Structure 1
C-alpha cells in the first residue's frame, strides 16, 4: 500500500473520530435550540419595512444599522416591540442586548420593561404597557418617584394577575417579587439581560451583564412562579418630563431541553431519560474504537515499511 493511500486512510479515520467526538460534545451542551420566531437582529425589517415575527408601535423607531429605539430622549413618548406569536415551550431562555442613555445630567427616565404576558401590544402607563396585566414584567427603572431604601437605576420583577395595579407612586414597592440595583445606564460595555425559565420547576432566573463582556451578575431567582402557558414577549418604554433613549439592540430566544433543566435540579428530582444516556455512551464508544483502529493500522503499516527496508 502506497504512502499516499495510507495517509488518506489515516486522515479518514481521524475525521471519523473527530466527527464522532464533536457529536458527543454537542449532545453534552445545555440543550439550547434557537427560536427564530422570538429572536430579532439587525437590520430588523424586511423589504416591506416589516418584521415577520415582531410588531413595532407607538413612538418606536428602527435604525437598521444600530437598534430599535423604543423611546427617544424627548418628553412624553411611548413605544413598544412585541412578538407576534406566544412562547409555548416549557423551558426557554431570552437574552437581549439593550442600551439606555441620554443627555440628562442627574434627571432622566423613566425606563423600560420586558414582558412575558398573556396580552400584547396595548400601550399604557406601566413603562409603556397596559396596567392590570397578566404575566411577568421586569422593570428597568431609572427614576425614583418616592424615597426608597435602594438606589437607582433599579431592576424589579412583578407578577400580574390581571387585576392588580402597578404601584407607580411608590416605584412598584408593593408589587415587587424581587429586584436588584444595577448600573445599566450609559455604559460603554454592551449591556444585556438573560431570562431563564423552567416551567417544570416553576423557577425563573434573571442575570445582567453590565460590568464587562460575558461577566454576568445574578439579579434574582423566582421560585414557585408560573407564567401563562402562552406568553407573548415584549419590550416597552415610556418617557415623561424626564427622558432617555431606550434601545433594544438584539433579542436571542432559545428553547431548553435535556441538561437545560440542570440549574434547578434541586427543585425537580425527575431522573434524566435513560435512552439519551445510552446513545451518548454508544457515540463515545464509537469514537474510542475509531481512534484505536487508526493507531493499530498506523503501527502495522509502519512495521511493514521497516521490514521492506530491511529486505
Structure 2
C-alpha cells in the first residue's frame, strides 16, 4: 500500500514539474524591462526616480499618478526614460487618464515618444518639433475643421527634418490613426505599443470601453526606429486645458519574432497575462516542493518500518 501511494506521489511530482516547464516555455517570450517601467509611488526618498526624469509643469502624486499637466492654461510637462530602449522587440503598456472640468472645450492632449532625443520641451504636445523617431499623439482639441471626431489618436514618423503640421492637426504627417473616445472614462484607459525591429512592424492597441477589451488603433509596417530611442510622455495645454496623467508604465522585451503577428495582417497575437502566469508557476513550484517533502517523509517512514520488522 505504501509503495502504491509512493508511486502515485512520484507521478504527481512529475506532472507538476512538467506543468511548470510548459508554463515557463509558453511565457518565455515576455521579459520585464524594469529600466523602462514605472509604478506608484514613482519616486524614492530623494524625490527622484531611478529610471525616469520628469520636469516642466509635471507633478507627482505618490498615491495616484504622474500629472504631466494640470487642468490649467499654458502648461507643459514631460516624463522621459533616462536610458534608451536597446531591445530589438519590445512592448510598452501604459495606463493614462485625461479629464478636466472643461465643458465642451478642453485640450490639447498628450503624446508618447520613441525618439532619438529626449527631454527637450517644444510645441508638439510638449516636445520639440523636427524630432527623429515616432510620436503617437492623443489629441483632444481640433485646431481646424476635420472629417473625423475628437479625441483622435495618430502616429507620425519623424526624420528630423519634417515639421509637425500643427495647424491641421497633423494631417500631413499621419501614418496611422483612429478615433478613440479615451477622455473622462470610468474604466482604466490604457495603450499598448508593440514593436519588432526586424520586420519594422509597430502596433497600437487601446483599452477605452471596458476592462481587458483591447482594440487595435493602427498597424504600421517598415518602421525603423533610431538605434538609440528613448521612451517619453509629454503633454501641453493652451487656452483650453485638461489633466493629463500617466498612472503606470510596463515595458517588456519580446524575445520571439513577429511571426505570430504575421498570422493575421490586422490582429496582433493574444496578450499573455504574465502576472497570472507567474502566479500559477509559483503555485506549481510550491506543489512540487510539498510533494517532494511528503515523498521524502514517506520514504523515511517506510525505511524505519522495515528496520523495526
- The question of a shared fold, defined as TM-score above 0.5 by the shorter chain, is answered with yes
Residue 286 of structure 1: aligned partner? none
Check if 1:159 corresponds to 2:157.
yes
2:205–2:217 contact (8 Å) kept in structure 1: yes
Residue 241 of structure 2: aligned partner? 243
**Secondary structure at the residue paired with 2:220?**
strand
**Secondary structure at the residue paired with 1:258?**
coil
Q: In structure 2, which of residues 208, 226, 229 is the aligned counterpart of residue 231 of structure 1?
A: 229
Matches within 5 A, 1:134-213: 134-213=132-211
Two-structure CA RMSD over aligned residues (Å): 1.5
**Secondary structure at the residue paired with 1:262?**
helix
What displacement does 1:135 show? 0.2
Of 22-31 and 139-148, the range deviating more from structure 2: 22-31
What displacement does 1:262 show? 1.4
- Please give the TM-score of this superposition, normalised by the length of structure 2: 0.83
**Secondary structure at the residue paired with 1:26?**
helix
For residues 152 and 74 of structure 2, what CA distance do their matches in structure 1 show? Answer: 21
For residues 164 and 16 of structure 2, what CA distance do their matches in structure 1 show? Answer: 55
Q: 1:211 to 1:122 in 2, by over 3 A?
A: same
For residues 79 and 259 of structure 2, what CA distance do their matches in structure 1 show? Answer: 29
Residue 88 of structure 2: aligned partner? 90
Larger Rg: 1
For residues 22 and 61 of structure 2, what CA distance do their matches in structure 1 show? Answer: 41
2:156–2:173 contact (8 Å) kept in structure 1: yes
Residue 108 of structure 1: aligned partner? 106
How big is each residue's C-alpha offset from its partner over 1:6-56, in whole Å with a ceiling of 9 and x where there is no partner? 545533431232122221132123601010000000111111111110001
**Secondary structure at the residue paired with 2:19?**
helix
1:203–1:264 contact (8 Å) kept in structure 2: no
Aligned length in residues: 265
1:70–1:247 contact (8 Å) kept in structure 2: yes
Check if 1:118 corresponds to 2:78.
no
2:196–2:257 contact (8 Å) kept in structure 1: no
Residue 72 of structure 1: aligned partner? 70
Check if 1:28 corresponds to 2:26.
yes
**Secondary structure at the residue paired with 2:174?**
coil
For residues 263 and 169 of structure 2, what CA distance do their matches in structure 1 show? Answer: 34
Q: 1:26 to 1:260 in 2, by over 3 A?
A: farther
For residues 230 and 151 of structure 1, what CA distance do their matches in structure 2 show? Answer: 35
**Secondary structure at the residue paired with 1:174?**
coil
For residues 258 and 28 of structure 2, what CA distance do their matches in structure 1 show? Answer: 5
**Secondary structure at the residue paired with 2:104?**
coil
For residues 20 and 260 of structure 1, what CA distance do their matches in structure 2 show? Answer: 27
Unmatched 5+ stretches in structure 1? 268-311
Q: In structure 2, which of residues 86, 94, 97 is the aligned counterpart of residue 99 of structure 1?
A: 97
Matches within 5 A, 1:296-311: none
Q: 1:219 to 1:30 in 2, by over 3 A?
A: farther
